[in-house]
Chain A
Amino acid sequence: ENSPAPLPERAIYGFALFLGSWFGFILYLIWAYVPETWLFSLGLTYWPQKYWAVALPVYLLVTVGIGYILLFGINMMSTAPLNSTHTITDNFAKKQQQKKFQEEAIPALRDIPISEVNRMFFLPEK
C-alpha cells in the first residue's frame, strides 16, 4: 500500500536528485563566475547573459516577500463583513433536511439556527 517507509526505489530517486542538484549548482556557479571570453574559447557561445545570474534570485526573493503580504491581504479581503448573512448561514444550512426524531437515539447532526443557540447560551431556564 502507500506507506512512507524507505524503499530501494526511493533511495535511488533520492540519490539521483542529490547528484542532479549538485550538478545544477556547479553549473550555476560556472555560468555566474567564469569570464565570458573563457566560455567563448570553449565554444559555449549561446548561454544566457550573466545579468540573469543575479536577476533571477532577486526576482524569486521579492516574490516570496510580496507573497507573505499578498496572502495576508487576500485573507482579510475574503472575510465576510459584519453585516452580511454569511456570518449566520450558508447554502448548505438553508437546504438541510429535517430528520425525524427517534426515541432514545442520538439526535441527527444539523446546523442549529442562531436564535436557538443564543437562547440556549444566554437565557438560562430556571
Chain B
Amino acid sequence: RGPRLQLRSLSAATSAVWLAAYGLFALSENSMVLSAAIFITLIGLIIYLHFVKIDQESLLVIGSLGIQVTSSYASGKESTIFIEMGQVKDVVINEAIHMQKVIYYLCILLQDPEDPQGVSEVVPLFQSSKPRLDCLIEVYKSCQEILEQRKTAPQSN
C-alpha cells in the first residue's frame, strides 16, 4: 500500500514555498532562489514522509510475552516499542485535555516496582491516527480479554 498524502496539504505547502521564493526572486533578481526553492520543496517532502507522516500504527498483545507497538512511516520506515508483560499494569482508555478539546486515547499503564497499586508511567498509543471512542472500545475489550488470562493462568516462575 502506497503512502496516503493529502493532495490539498501538499499543493498548499508547495504553493506557499514557491510564492515566497518568487517574492524573494522579485526582490533580489537572483535566479538561484527559484532552483533553491524547488530543491527545498523536494528535500522537505522526503524528510516529512520519512520522519513525520505515520501511515499505520499497530498494537500486538501476546499474553505471556508482552505488548509491541509498531508505527510505520510513509517512506516505509518502521519503529517498534516492546514492553514486557511484567511491566504492564493495565491497558485503559484515558480522557485528557489536549489543545482545546477533551480526547479519549488508549494508553498502557506501567507498573511501579515499589508500589503494587501505583502507576510509574503512562504510554499513550495511536497518537497519529487518534481513533474515536467506538473504535477504542473494541480495542480495549480485546486487550482486556488477553490481559485477564495472565491472571487466571499463573506462570511458573
Mark A residues whose CB is within 8 Å of B. 76, 79-80, 82-85, 87-89, 94, 113-115, 118-119, 122-123
Contacts beyond the supplied A82-B127, A122-B93: 10 A-B pairs with Cβ under 8 Å: A79-B98, A82-B98, A85-B122, A87-B94, A87-B96, A87-B122, A114-B90, A115-B109, A118-B93, A122-B140
Task: Tell me the minimal C-beta distance from B39 to chain A in angstroms.
Answer: 36
Which residue in B117, B121, B141 is a CB contact (below 8 Å) of A85? Answer: B121
Given A88-B109, A88-B122, A89-B119, CB of A114 within 8 Å of CB of B96: no
Q: Is B92 an interface residue (CB 8 A)?
A: yes
Please indicate which of the listed interface residues B97, B98, B120, B122 has the most CB atoms of chain A within 10 Å of its own CB: B122
Mark B residues whose CB is within 8 Å of A. 89-90, 92-94, 96-99, 105, 107, 109, 117-124, 127, 137, 140-141, 144
Given A113-B117, A119-B144, A122-B140, CB of A83 within 8 Å of CB of B94: no
A88 vs B92: C-alpha distance in the bound complex, in angstroms? 10
Given A85-B121, A94-B118, A113-B117, CB of A118 within 8 Å of CB of B92: yes
Closest to A118 in B: B92
Given A115-B92, A123-B141, CB of A83 within 8 Å of CB of B117: no
Task: Tell me the minimal C-beta distance from A78 to chain B in angstroms.
Answer: 11
Given A118-B140, A119-B144, A123-B144, CB of A85 within 8 Å of CB of B93: no
